[in-house]
Amino acid sequence: MNGDATFLGMPAFPANAAVAVRDSQLRYNLRKATHTIRGKRAAAVGELPDWAELRRAGKEIKDHTLRNLERYLVRMEEAVTAAGGHVHWAADAAEANRIVADLVKATGETSVVKVKSMATQEIGLNEALELEGITAYETDLAELIVQLGDDRPSHILVPAIHRNRAEIREIFRERMADWGRAAPEDLTDDPRALAEAARLHLRERFLSTRVAISGANFMIADTGTLVVLESEGNGRMCLTLPETLISVVGIEKLLPSWQDLEVFLQLLPRSSTGERMNPYTSTWTGAVEGQEFHLVLLDNGRTNVLADEIGRQALRCIRCSACLNVCPVYERAGGHAYGSVYPGPIGAILTPQLRGTASKLDASLPYASTLCGACFDACPVAIDIPEVLVHLRGKVRHARVERLGMRAAGWVFNRPARLARAQRLGGRLRRFVPGRLPGPLSAWTDTRDIPDIPPESFRDWWDRTDGGVQ
Amino acid sequence: MRVALFITCVNDTLFPGTGRAVVTLLRRLGCDVEFPRAQTCCGQMHVNTGYPEEGRRLARHFVDVFAEYDAVVAPSGSCAAMVREQYPRLARTPAAAGAPAGEGPPPGSFAAEVAETVPKVYELSEFLVDVLGVTDVGAYFPHRVTYHPTCHSLRGLHLEDRPTRLLEQVRGLELVPLPGADECCGFGGTFALKNPAISAAMCADKVHNVTTTGAEVLCAADNSCLMHIGGTLVRQRAGVRIMHLAEILAATESGDDRTVRG
């Protein structure tokens, strides 16, 4: 099994969620943050009259690229190489980590700065580098909060969404000194003061570190260009200052041409941060003078996902997080409950496909949804997440008691006479149904009453009264 | 026009009053409704819990039972959405998926039968507004009511304002908006049993929003969601009762809706 080591061995989603849902501070932080972003996104999307067409274009560009992935990957490799970069192919997390560690070691450095990147979190790169004696410093503000707090990310775009500013102040005051420049003595929880403390702390790091590691939001096959979208400018510091740049990018991040990028530069900021335009968009092609550039193309389960006719649409994902922000389950369970760097609805379909469903946690993820459909509506590349969830539910191994129950229900429903007999039995026993049901059904009556069972089913009423005529 | 009632297994077993209300309502509007006795369940629980084979068997049965009718009316947004969204997927075989575009499914195949039957299946408010062309169904219900749109009615079937247009025409009825109406109540079928903590937390927020409206009645086009919210309302002694849309639309001043109350 691949995946981030820090999430290994977690219990299944329902158990994690049951703990998280009692955490009133977490609930408050998440409700406030997701509802704020939800509103901003709705406004930014709502003001575009051609959103539906943009969305369709985004879906079709991604589908076309995925259908011709081999061709575009080769074109990307040729273009990057021609522009003075080096291209490496990694089949899985271990291979990718090995390649990156060797590249860093070849420079003689023992520390790297990192641009916020989901791919490197997916493969557990920081932990792998640590084993090789290399320290990876996160430079995205939210990732810095997570790293300083010995925490795990809980959101794709806003990894520290589960923290409020009072908690962030505590983390900065207690931990910043261990990692470099300490936080000011008189640090308050004013957002400006917190940002300034992080700026001073990180500035030293940028100026002293010679190797940077990034991911990428998009790769343009025509020219071999990589594209990173961010809001802080910290990513650009990493992309421009160091002497060696290593980018780890999933193979599904390709776009054929710059013209295709135009669609996504509209879809992504409006869906993720609710902004009309992204603040810092960095693009680079190969190596600039005096800089060495390595591109590590990562599979890590993606070609298996591509082979699944229904599941492959998950590879269209551009990691905008709109589905997380509108998800009522994510809002109450928080990101950690999903046990993956990809939480929320997209995580519930991506993680079980990338990692498989052998563990209890991964097998429980397709069920971490009411199928309410809010995620599909919000997705800028029209991933039908409920469809994939249902598809994956059909593939996981079910508990024996559930299999028996479902088989029994199927047996009853297969014959109308059996259904009628079961209804009459229920009607006769109605007075003996306890207020609290036993076994798995107690999950219902723990918080809800069961409806009164009627003495007569509709079909029996119809038969007795000839459809209400008598 | 031959109109069949697809009662749904939940209504048939637990909410027969809703079925009687549909019959009363459609007859009042001059529609003779038949009840095909062979019907059972649309298969949603099986498919959505991860048992597509059992679900496919029930889908075949559904198509066999209802193919001969001109219209099939279901008092459930969720079951109607199941038929409309998922039956074509259940009928799609790997061979059919690879078939050249523009060619329909082979005649006589399950996919062809699904393609024929599915467009004739209507959720109740769709049938009233789109097929019968009425929004004033002659109902009288002098109560304060709030309406929960339910996810599959809202995002699956896109019922939009059909149910509220019907409710607005009911004499004596005061319709009050439900805050956060488009948010899921947390039922989700077997989700309520598999993730009870989250399901209950979602329902607690829904119930809070319902009680802030001051409504006497919470109305929806889906008794399964109402069973979940209503079960919590009763447990909390909230003093709000649940009613299916059909039951409100069947009610009249003269009280000729007695069949509804059984």
Summarised one tens digit per residue, pLDDT across range A217-250 is 999 999 999 999 999 999 999 999 999 999 999 9
Confidence tier at B108 by pLDDT (50, 70, 90)? confident
Q: Cα separation of A58 and A61, whole Å? A: 5
pLDDT at A274 over 80: yes
Q: Do B74 and B156 lie in a common domain?
A: no
Residue B139 is assigned to a structural domain of this protein:
no
Q: Do B124 and B164 lie in a common domain?
A: no
CB of B13 within 8 Å of any CB in chain A? yes
Strand A254-255 and strand A218-220: the pairing is: parallel
Beta bridge partners, A219, equal A226, A254
Tens-place pLDDT, residues B137-151: 999 999 999 999 999
Per-residue pLDDT averaged across A172-199, rounded?
Answer: 96
Cβ within 8 Å of A, B 24-63: 24, 33, 35, 37-41, 43, 45-52, 54, 57-58, 61
In the structure encoding, which two tokens stand for residue A53, read together?
A: 């067409």
Confidence tier at A7 by pLDDT (50, 70, 90)? confident
Contacts of A93 (CB under 8 A, 6+ apart): A2, A3, A122, A123, A124, A300
What is the amino acid identity at position A74? Answer: V
CB of B23 within 8 Å of any CB in chain A? yes
- B198 and A395 within 8 Å at the Cβ level: the answer is no
Residue of B nearest to A387 (CA): B86
Residue B162 is assigned to a structural domain of this protein:
yes
CATH number of the domain bearing residue B232: 3.40.50
Confidence tier at B114 by pLDDT (50, 70, 90)? very high
pLDDT at B98 over 60: no
Helix (H, G, I), strand (E, B) or coil at B257: coil
Helices A258-272 and A24-46: crossing angle, nearest 10°? Answer: 130
The last residue of a domain, from among B131, B157, B180: B131
The minimal CB distance from B235 to the residues A369, A447, A453 is found for A447
- B97 and A309 within 8 Å at the Cβ level: the answer is yes
Q: How many degrees, rounded to 5, is the angle at CA A211 between CA A207 and CA A212? A: 90
Q: Do B237 and B166 lie in a common domain?
A: yes
Q: Can you list the domains of chain A with their CATH numbers?
A: 5-302 (3.40.50.10420), 417-465 (no CATH)
Confidence tier at B255 by pLDDT (50, 70, 90)? confident
pLDDT at A86 over 60: yes
| Structural domain count, chain B | 2
Residue numbers in B near A409 (CB within 8 A): 45-46
- B186 and A451 within 8 Å at the Cβ level: the answer is no
The last residue of a domain, from among B131, B166, B188: B131
Contacts of A351 (CB under 8 A, 6+ apart): A3, A338, A339, A340, A342, A362, A365
Model pLDDT, residue A290: 87
Contact at 8 Å (CB) between A215 and A119? Answer: yes
Contact at 8 Å (CB) between A225 and A273? Answer: no
Confidence tier at A2 by pLDDT (50, 70, 90)? very low
Nearest to A348 by CA among A395, A302, A314: A314
Q: Do B199 and B253 lie in a common domain?
A: yes
The last residue of a domain, from among B78, B99, B131: B131
Model pLDDT, residue B262: 41
CB of B9 within 8 Å of any CB in chain A? yes
pLDDT at B261 over 70: no
Count interface pairs A-B at CB distance under 8 A: 192
Strand A225-230 and strand B121-123: the pairing is: unpaired
CA distances from A197 to A73, A239, B15 (A): 41, 22, 61
- B14 and A451 within 8 Å at the Cβ level: the answer is yes
Per-residue pLDDT averaged across B82-101, rounded?
Answer: 78
Residue B137 is assigned to a structural domain of this protein:
no
Per-residue pLDDT averaged across A167-180, rounded?
Answer: 96
CB of B199 within 8 Å of any CB in chain A? yes
Q: Cα separation of A87 and A256, whole Å? A: 18
Q: Cα separation of A146 and A167, whole Å? A: 11
A281 sits in which H/E element: strand A280-285
- A419 and B40 within 8 Å at the Cβ level: the answer is yes
The Cα of A418 is separated from the nearest Cα of chain B by a number of Å equal to 10
Q: Do B120 and B221 lie in a common domain?
A: no
Residue numbers in B near A373 (CB within 8 A): 151-152, 154-156
pLDDT at B101 over 70: no
pLDDT at B256 over 70: no
Q: Do B44 and B156 lie in a common domain?
A: no
The Cα of B122 is separated from the nearest Cα of chain A by a number of Å equal to 20
Residue of B nearest to A436 (CA): B235
Burial of B95 (0-12, 13-18, 19+ CB in 10 A): exposed
Confidence tier at B97 by pLDDT (50, 70, 90)? low
Nearest to A276 by CA among A119, A118, A54, A33: A54
Residue B136 is assigned to a structural domain of this protein:
no
pLDDT at A282 over 90: yes
pLDDT at A440 over 90: no
Q: Cα separation of B249 and B166, whole Å? A: 8
Cβ within 8 Å of A, B 110-139: none
Model pLDDT, residue A5: 43
Q: Which of B5, B13, B235 to mutate to test the interface with A (most CBs of A within 10 A)?
A: B13
The Cα of A354 is separated from the nearest Cα of chain B by a number of Å equal to 19
Residue B138 is assigned to a structural domain of this protein:
no
Mean pLDDT of chain B: 94
- B197 and A18 within 8 Å at the Cβ level: the answer is yes
The Cα of A332 is separated from the nearest Cα of chain B by a number of Å equal to 7
In the structure encoding, which two tokens stand for residue B211, read together?
A: 């009680």
Q: How many degrees, rounded to 5, is the angle at CA A454 between CA A453 and CA A458? A: 125
Residue B52 is assigned to a structural domain of this protein:
yes
Residue B209 is assigned to a structural domain of this protein:
yes
What is the amino acid identity at position A365? Answer: L
B187: containing domain: 144-261
Beta bridge partners, A159, equal none
pLDDT at A164 over 90: yes
Q: Do B81 and B186 lie in a common domain?
A: no
Q: Cα separation of A402 and A408, whole Å? A: 10
Residue numbers in A near B94 (CB within 8 A): 309
pLDDT at A216 over 80: yes
The minimal CB distance from B195 to the residues A17, A440, A447 is found for A17
Q: Do B207 and B104 lie in a common domain?
A: no
Residue of B nearest to A427 (CA): B13
Tens-place pLDDT, residues A414-424: 999 999 999 99
B78 sits in which H/E element: helix B77-81
Residue numbers in A near B99 (CB within 8 A): none
Sign of CA dihedral A338, A340, A341, A347: negative
Per-residue pLDDT averaged across A367-381, rounded?
Answer: 98
Helices A458-465 and B16-28: crossing angle, nearest 10°? Answer: 50
CB of B157 within 8 Å of any CB in chain A? no
Residue of A nearest to B55 (CA): A410
Q: Do B173 and B105 lie in a common domain?
A: no
Tens-place pLDDT, residues A394-403: 999 999 999 9
H/E/C letters for each residue in A35-99? HHHHHHHHHHHHCCCCHHHHHHHHHHHHHHHHHCHHHHHHHHHHHHHHCCCEEEEECCHHHHHHH
Per-residue pLDDT averaged across B98-121, rounded?
Answer: 84
pLDDT at A107 over 60: yes
The minimal CB distance from A416 to the residues B20, B40, B47 is found for B40
Model pLDDT, residue B228: 98
- The residue that leads in pLDDT, A432 or A248, is A248
Nearest to A2 by CA among A342, A277, A287, A278: A342
What is the amino acid identity at position B8? Answer: T
Tens-place pLDDT, residues A62-74: 999 999 999 999 9
The Cα of A451 is separated from the nearest Cα of chain B by a number of Å equal to 7
Q: Do B93 and B182 lie in a common domain?
A: no
Nearest to A347 by CA among A364, A332, A370, A360: A364
Contacts of A363 (CB under 8 A, 6+ apart): A12, A352, A357, A396, A397
Q: Which of A57-66, A141-150, B251-260 shows the lowest mean pLDDT across its residues?
A: B251-260
Model pLDDT, residue A3: 38
- The residue that leads in pLDDT, A408 or B102, is A408
Residue of A nearest to B60 (CA): A414
ipTM confidence score: 0.95
Strands (E), chain B: 3-5, 33-34, 71-74, 121-123, 144-147, 174-176, 217-220, 241-244
The Cα of B129 is separated from the nearest Cα of chain A by a number of Å equal to 24
pLDDT at B179 over 80: yes
Mean pLDDT of chain A: 96
**CB neighbours (10 Å) of residue A366?**
24
Q: Which of B73-77, B91-95, B168-172, B195-199 shows the lowest mean pLDDT across its residues?
A: B91-95
Per-residue pLDDT averaged across B48-61, rounded?
Answer: 97
End-to-end CA distance of chain B: 28
pLDDT at A348 over 90: yes
Q: Do B149 and B217 lie in a common domain?
A: yes
